[in-house]
Amino acid sequence: MDLQKPGSTQEWLDARKALLLREKALTRERDELSALRREMPLLQVEESYNFQSEEGRQTLRQLFGPHRQLIIYHFMFGADWQEGCPSCSFWADNFDGIDVHLAARDTAFACVSNAPLDKLLAYRKRLGWRFKWVSAKDTDFSANFAVSFHDGDQGRSATGYNYSGTFAADELPGVSVFIREGDTVFHSYSTYSRGLDMLNGAYQFLDLTPLGRQEEDLDWPMAWLKRRDVYV
């Protein structure tokens, strides 16, 4: 990627002020989108589900703990996989430490995958993470929330992945948000694909730099990516 030619202090300041106007407009639009997201109708979750957790079997309601809201990151780790997805691992490097801040706003956080719990915990230990991670193995949770499309699962989510009607892979990433009234759980929002960009701090920092993400000439955008313990 070629760098921009050097300019004068005044040229830099003029360009920065022009860009600031666009940034402020984007911030206002993002605030408006967040407000619209909060106005989405709620969909009652009829199934209780039954996850494998470090605390034993837990229902979706129990993943809330004492909190009223719950955020789930759908982490790609298939039942027969030996490792978690590298890109989901990249995202998960942003998760440790946020739980206490979310809890202060009455919100719980957990990752959910289809691999058995022992695989999830071993991989979490390998990567040095501490966030809550539960297994949805032998449940319909991942299929019902449109991130798992194994044989026989594709009919469970009428929307397909990212509301597109397509099923590009057996396992795919996403985020789902829930709120409860008493013990009744409601699904408020899910996002997938590029909708997850806002959760990746490394990408947000790279977007501030002259070279950006440096993915334009790669075979696919994240071809450069490795798990954090593989970099040398």
Residue 69 included in any domain: yes
Dmax over Cα atoms in the chain, in whole Å?
Answer: 63
- Apex CA 200: angle with CA 194 and CA 201, to 5°? 140
| 3-state SS class at 33 | helix
- Strands, DSSP E only, in 26-113? 43-44, 51-53, 56-58, 69-74, 107-113
CATH classification at residue 137: 3.40.30.10
* Domains of the chain: total: 1
User: Domain for residue 58, yes or no?
Assistant: yes
Element (H, E) at 184: strand 184-192
What's residue 158's pLDDT? 60
What pLDDT does 151 receive? 65
Distance CA 61, CA 40 (A): 21
**Amino acid identity for residue 99 in this structure:** D
Contact 221, 213 (CB under 8 A): yes
Residue 226 placed within a domain: no
Q: Which of 146, 75, 154 is nearest to 110 (CA)?
A: 75
77-117, pLDDT tens digit by residue? 999 999 999 999 999 999 999 999 999 999 999 999 999 99
pLDDT (mean) for 136-148: 93
Q: Which residues contact 197 (CB under 8 A, 6 or more apart)?
A: 203
pLDDT-derived band at 5 (thresholds 50, 70, 90) equals confident
For residue 30, is it within any domain?
Answer: no
Among 156, 152, 148, 122, residue whose Cα is nearest residue 54: 122
Establish if 6 belongs to a structural domain: no
3, part of any domain = no
Output phi, psi for 192, to 5 deg.
-145, 175
From start to end of 51-183, where are the E strands? 51-53, 56-58, 69-74, 107-113, 133-135, 174-181
Q: How far is it, in rounded angstroms, from Cα 126 to Cα 122?
A: 6
Q: In what helix (H) or strand (E) does residue 191 lie, and over which residues does it extend? A: strand 184-192
Q: What residues make up the domain containing 107?
A: 43-198
Q: Is residue 55 assigned to a domain?
A: yes
Place of tokens 């860009």: 19
User: Residue 159's pLDDT is what?
Assistant: 72
CB 70 within 8 A of CB 63: yes
Residue 76 lies in a domain: yes
For residue 4, name the pLDDT band (cuts at 50, 70, 90): confident
CA torsion 54-195-182-97 (nearest 10°) is 50
Do the beta carbons of residue 212 and residue 221 sit within 8 Å? no
pLDDT digits 0-9 by tens, 175-224: 999 999 999 999 999 999 999 999 999 999 999 999 999 999 999 999 99
